[in-house]
Structure 1
């Protein structure tokens, strides 16, 4: 593909080639959009993903050399080979980031795009599987709608380079090098088309079609199925936080979660009545076990009206009273709603009358703004106006077609089955974006109706840009095995590396037992919580869940409430209670991280390359991660005590291998012991211990244990200081719900530890908001080595000072012997 002409315009570089035209649009100093087509002009379609397509003025220059053109910003350089149009990407100093093959890396293959025609010959079959009702059209036909392209973008990745991203996938791969991944929406597969490299760059594809990533014997590339043109963004950091910043500048910032969303969420398949919901809350309160959210799973509707967005009046006779009782006791309620409707319920009939259903006459069409408005109207009138607090948008990849039978289909067969099912009802150019548009309708509808509640939407699917709609994605209907637990960690880390920050999972897995006739119902514990093997697995899953953005237990086959796993005094119950209470102690830290996600484009669930990109040892570690700037979390993902069937294991050490990244000192959270980075240790990991380390220089604000986030109020804070290097932390506070923070109604407090001076500074409070706590007791604790009580509490060998903070700056100096570790 030879370059035949070019023109530097005010905001872009226009290229003509032997086969088509291209443009490079600098959208920031660190981000360049690249578009290539074989048509005579570029597409004018509005992006579903990107909000800002080069609308900012960016300074850049173009230089011509004998064999290449060089586009340069203050941070990034792209060289274009005149003979082949191969791109080479470098930083401003000429250090290679990545490159296309010398022969050129962009391929467009013209195709005919088909659409489905529904006539009087079609039939619709409806059936209920393990994850809900599905309606399928049979007997439809296809007709050619237009022309488009398969697109293929090739790279020559460098030795030692690790790649992350592409969303949340079930296979448990951390570094994507040497692998391949099919990118379509599916239960346990949430796609985000953003690839992130340890060499300091990322590539975001502005495509909503089925895609495939490969780095194997077939080549190193990303391929898209149906696009009007090739359209992608090359981003440069080099740090991952900078890449996330660029991604969110393009696709939208993240609204604040309410404070209660950081508390514990109790769910199961399923609570069936108003009485049961209130009884569960009452039990948690009587046991002094913290809880903020109860979740009402599917079939809360009347009879067989699948997907109806209203509560069955027989089982939920007084929704307003139920919500009043929950709110008065510091709890909220999330309700499952579905994009698929069946059995001619009122919502389905109204959608059908308006012509807003897709070809199967069951799924509504979120790509139509008026259909999104009607969907919200139904959700508002049936649920939200009664006081419901949050949404569980289940089944948001609504055309799954392979969750049946005893044998799991081969990966390529699954691609064909599911992608073709999507194409029966949606334009193939947008089949990955159903959840994105569905989330948009919920977010915009609630914001328009009532700004006093922040939107919380737990959704099983995701796409680039979905973070702007108050969405949290969970990993789907997993099965209870130790392999699944291990695989969940890289799934979440790769998901959050894309820039979409809020990910969670079903603590304990969705399917606990086994049904041989269903390949996916494949857990190892048919006796559920009565099996000591499952109790051990559940405790380890719960420990991991306590260090995720959303802390939520859910699943079928067996109940999940804490007391199902024992009574006080048993190791299972006591360990669950311990980590539940630790989560609540960390609320000030967690809410500050949430504020940073919104205010500073931060990421709280962090692959180790976020903070230790230059340490090659971290690049393929998929079972350790940073939770915010302080905590190195090391979940236990192998059994130590029991097999399935309560069979005891013998001779298994209660330790796990932990790599402490180089460039920092580390503290054992439980004992205060100091260790050096850059080494592997065998960390103690009995059942009641999750190996947890804190980076030297960290400042961790903590609170007393409360029963719900509503009680946090003016509670005194304990400020943990981990010496060994200088450190900073910004405490964030606002009203905890509503959107007044968007008007500037929030406050922040900068905290700083100067290690050499042994001095701690609390800056003056910046900002104000209604109901702000103006005076708070703060106990400053400098952590040192100690014997450890096994509960992370301050030791007698730790040194503390108490101050009353009133919003004015405070400086506290510690004697050198006092602050020594």
Structure 2
């Protein structure tokens, strides 16, 4: 089916029946004209003016070509179908491979936490989880995309699921110190060896697996005072060491995935190959690739400090190199192979095509691009308003304050109400924030306690997912097990459930409950947390599926990845109906293809305060953005902390502060700029004392964000008006520079800036690749650099390496305390000469939905390098509150002069702009 000049849908079923349910993702209808269908040379060709699809009669193979006849994408053999039964209903597992042995760059697929930028040759599992966001949309440097329209767990790359090392499902064999199958496992309590035994696998992956722990090695625990869903903290120091010889049956890149929490190190033949820490209530996978030779053993050693944590080691055999270097989607359940080919002339066009299929990215309010201060959590109304007042007192710009969870009475989660003792007048709290020029976001979960009236109302219409409190027959029934597995972490542990957003009646009831209890008080933004949904930490996928379903729309396994999309779509629809002319803002922890249409920004979940996690956020954010979802952020500083930071140990304070400083710098050049995490407190003035180098640096980046607001808000607007992307992989702007495809720790922030975050403690310089095809200015020094080479860039503690592309025009504004502050409209145009350049400044009222009716203005600006002339064009459009006359300063940066950017830098020239064109010669 054809959906546009460059949009073609391919559907294949095992029985030739095409009676498929409506897509949850695609809301565009197919077109009925503007294309041709012809038969030739044993195939049928569907052609639009821009792309064509050829289907071979002999085997059904599909091939796509661009307007020049070049093949972009071609199926490798027929797709496969395998019958699957879910809740007594027939489905099929599907797989389709494309472009075998390809050398193209591949990006998108959502947000993942393994430092993968270019997915060519990589394995990625698309399964919603805290920190991991599944979006089955892939883009290629050949300028096409694939939207794989399947909602179940899907594997990109190797279609085979990873299995435990020692389980016998791959060719790899493991032997212990005596030559027996399995690992030698040694359990220590303190320095005492408490147990030693052979273990077939390393498998303490989920809650149920903790029952396998040797009794003689169990440590006493005390209840954790922070975090969620832990089994407590061990009183005694625990260590486990696994050793074994790994003998592969296949030569090539053997792939391992270590699922772990707490401290873990992995050694291969004595060399450390992995060193990570993660909180116990949110373990995750760490990828480890080892080139190995068939029959040649490798000595593996795993050292783990569990502290009541989780661990598992999994493996997959090498694929033949042509298959590893291919595109492959394999889904666990569906009705068909169903995908959309999106062709274009560049990657921006590909993302535009995706949004044509799934929905435009809604414009965010201007204040969303200001600074967000958050914490886990503000316990009282006075704390919330006190933080806003302190920012204003110190002159630190701030737009948004956030009320995280647990503002309700302890046993009333889901009541959509406030604990009157701690929040005596939430209406006044909101008014006070507004009076200070701020906005306030509040956390709302899809979770409800069974004892609440809201739960009962939803349950009465079949709107609650009840698996959360219903153990399976095979599970233990001891009180300890029930508490650990079926009760939450609050107080004594409460019975709870999540509502079913696929049940429209339930979705509307849920919204009405939120509207009457919270929205009516004037809150500005909505934090829809834990919407994977995260029923309980440390559950297996199978158990999550059991507890989720069935949904009103069908089996949970078939719809596994779409809960956040349906939940957010419903919530956004109701917000618009409630306040038709107010732009909604939703922050959600999870998402799926299409979520950009529902005024949703995403964040990277409960990542940890570690340097390696900071680095991983770069590729995570870039690939989510290249999946067509432009508004994204992280918890600046990381959410969960090691005890050395949590306890404020003096010897670790410099590293804690530097980590926050480097993350803050990264945040200032992220689509959204948001500080959040567990204690210690994250406010600028809590992290560093006033007058310190760190305080001054954080103040600088906070103020810099607001000076850059004309540029940043234009980037935000272009995500709607031009389907643009804010956070851009180097391949988007430099597709011919293959070296740039694989750069994992740099990105472009709009068309002007290239950002190179510092991701290691104590680093005062870092390697930076300057892409070929442009020349660059160092933002902090003004030094001019040629492209197509790697340099060592200075990275003093107070500054992060940022580069500006020659030919860029960067508009900056006056000093502001928030975007609500009325300014005189003055601007400075920072013109980075050395190439022709242009910029179209976008402005509107910042909060209403009148932009949909054309209520906005543009001021086009261009620089001609040959004539050294700057043209400020005639203003186009208008809106209520538009600044009629303004002063515009011009500040030139030239290749021969090292001129650093300065917040209050002197303009070289200035003009009074009334909306009429102005041309200046600047030599």
Normalised TM-score (structure 2): 0.76
CA contact (8 A) 2:147 2:340 kept: yes
Provide the residue aligned with 2:300 in structure 1: none
CA contact (8 A) 1:253 1:601 kept: yes
Task: Map 1:503-514; keep pairs closer than 5 Å.
Answer: 503-514=632-643
Give secondary structure in 2 for the equivalent of 1:534. Answer: helix
Provide the residue aligned with 2:67 in structure 1: 92
Quote how far apart the aligned CAs of 1:403 are: 2.9
Task: Map 1:200-219; keep pairs closer than 5 Å.
Answer: 200-215=143-158, 217=319, 219=323
CA contact (8 A) 1:105 1:155 kept: no
1:475-532 deviation digits (Å, cap 9, x = unpaired): 1111111110111110111111111111111001110124xxxxxxxx8664279711
Provide the residue aligned with 1:37 in structure 2: 13
Change (3 A) 1:417 1:369: closer
Provide the residue aligned with 1:13 in structure 2: none
Distance 2:564 2:342 in 1: 25
Distance 1:789 1:777 in 2: 22
Provide the residue aligned with 2:582 in structure 1: 453
* Correspondence for 1:303 among 402, 410, 424: 410
Task: Map 1:167-178; keep pairs closer than 5 Å.
Answer: 167-178=110-121
Change (3 A) 1:742 1:226: same
* Correspondence for 1:490 among 619, 634, 657: 619
Distance 1:61 1:726 in 2: 43
1:625-652 deviation digits (Å, cap 9, x = unpaired): 0000000001001111xxxxxxxxxxxx
Provide the residue aligned with 1:107 in structure 2: 80
Give secondary structure in 1 for the equivalent of 2:451. Answer: coil
Matched, 1:68 2:43: yes
Quote how far apart the aligned CAs of 1:747 are: 1.1
Change (3 A) 1:813 1:482: same
Distance 1:782 1:399 in 2: 52
Distance 1:435 1:738 in 2: 25
Matched, 1:81 2:56: yes
* Correspondence for 2:785 among 666, 675, 682: 675
* Correspondence for 1:551 among 673, 683, 693: 673
1:237-285 deviation digits (Å, cap 9, x = unpaired): 2311000110000000011111110110000100011111111011101
Distance 2:648 2:632 in 1: 29
Identify the range of structure 1 (229-238 vs 575-584) with the bigger mean alpha-carbon deviation. 229-238
Distance 1:381 1:614 in 2: 54
Give secondary structure in 1 for the equivalent of 2:499. Answer: coil
Quote how far apart the aligned CAs of 1:420 are: 4.9
Quote how far apart the aligned CAs of 1:154 are: 0.7
Give secondary structure in 1 for the equivalent of 2:804. Answer: strand
Distance 1:296 1:789 in 2: 42
Distance 2:660 2:24 in 1: 39
Quote how far apart the aligned CAs of 1:92 are: 2.3
Quote how far apart the aligned CAs of 1:70 are: 3.0
Distance 1:325 1:751 in 2: 40
1:142-197 deviation digits (Å, cap 9, x = unpaired): xx1x2121111111345431211111011111111222111111101111110111
* Correspondence for 1:584 among 688, 703, 706: 706
Change (3 A) 1:229 1:471: same
Provide the residue aligned with 1:263 in structure 2: 370
Quote how far apart the aligned CAs of 1:38 are: 2.3
Quote how far apart the aligned CAs of 1:541 are: 0.5
Quote how far apart the aligned CAs of 1:700 are: 0.6
Matched, 1:380 2:501: no
Provide the residue aligned with 1:362 in structure 2: 497
Distance 1:419 1:528 in 2: 41
Distance 2:546 2:531 in 1: 17
Matched, 1:50 2:152: no
Give secondary structure in 2 for the equivalent of 1:729. Answer: strand
Provide the residue aligned with 1:801 in structure 2: 909
Give secondary structure in 2 for the equivalent of 1:697. Answer: coil
* Correspondence for 1:225 among 332, 350, 360: 332
Distance 1:447 1:281 in 2: 28
1:722-766 deviation digits (Å, cap 9, x = unpaired): 111111111111111021111111111111111111111112111
Please list every run of 5 or more consecutive structure 2 residues that lacks an aligned counterpart in the other structure: 159-317, 468-495
Task: Map 1:595-674; keep pairs closer than 5 Å.
Answer: 595-640=717-762, 654-674=764-784
Change (3 A) 1:622 1:505: same
Quote how far apart the aligned CAs of 1:357 are: 1.1
Change (3 A) 1:483 1:737: same
Matched, 1:716 2:854: no
Matched, 1:531 2:653: yes
CA contact (8 A) 2:795 2:801 kept: yes
* Correspondence for 1:443 among 555, 561, 572: 572
1:38-84 deviation digits (Å, cap 9, x = unpaired): 2343124111100013146332342411x433332222232333322
1:382-436 deviation digits (Å, cap 9, x = unpaired): 11111111000000012455537xxxxxxxxx54454555456653221211111
Change (3 A) 1:552 1:186: same
Quote how far apart the aligned CAs of 1:769 are: 1.1
Provide the residue aligned with 2:98 in structure 1: 155
CA contact (8 A) 2:125 2:155 kept: yes
Quote how far apart the aligned CAs of 1:553 are: 0.6
Distance 1:373 1:600 in 2: 33
Give secondary structure in 2 for the equivalent of 1:275. Answer: helix
Quote how far apart the aligned CAs of 1:307 are: 2.6
Provide the residue aligned with 2:892 in structure 1: 782
Give secondary structure in 1 for the equivalent of 2:682. Answer: coil
Give secondary structure in 2 for the equivalent of 1:354. Answer: coil
Distance 1:667 1:783 in 2: 8
Distance 1:345 1:491 in 2: 38
Matched, 1:389 2:497: no
Please list every run of 5 or more consecutive structure 1 residues that lacks an aligned counterpart in the other structure: 1-24, 115-143, 405-413, 515-522, 641-652
Give secondary structure in 2 for the equivalent of 1:439. Answer: helix
Task: Map 1:113-124; keep pairs closer than 5 Å.
Answer: 113-114=86-87
* Count of aligned pairs between the two proteins: 727
Matched, 1:702 2:812: yes
Quote how far apart the aligned CAs of 1:90 are: 2.2
* Correspondence for 1:350 among 448, 457, 474: 457
Distance 1:505 1:768 in 2: 35
Give secondary structure in 2 for the equivalent of 1:38. Answer: coil
CA contact (8 A) 1:670 1:793 kept: no
Distance 1:401 1:179 in 2: 29
Identify the range of structure 1 (293-302 vs 44-53) with the bigger mean alpha-carbon deviation. 44-53
Give secondary structure in 2 for the equivalent of 1:748. Answer: strand
Give secondary structure in 2 for the equivalent of 1:362. Answer: strand
1:589-615 deviation digits (Å, cap 9, x = unpaired): 011111111111111111111101111
Give secondary structure in 2 for the equivalent of 1:718. Answer: strand
Change (3 A) 1:696 1:787: closer
Normalised TM-score (structure 1): 0.86
* RMSD (CA atoms): 2.0
Distance 1:92 1:441 in 2: 39
CA contact (8 A) 1:37 1:229 kept: yes
Provide the residue aligned with 1:236 in structure 2: 343
Matched, 1:740 2:850: yes
Identify the range of structure 1 (737-746 vs 246-255) with the bigger mean alpha-carbon deviation. 737-746
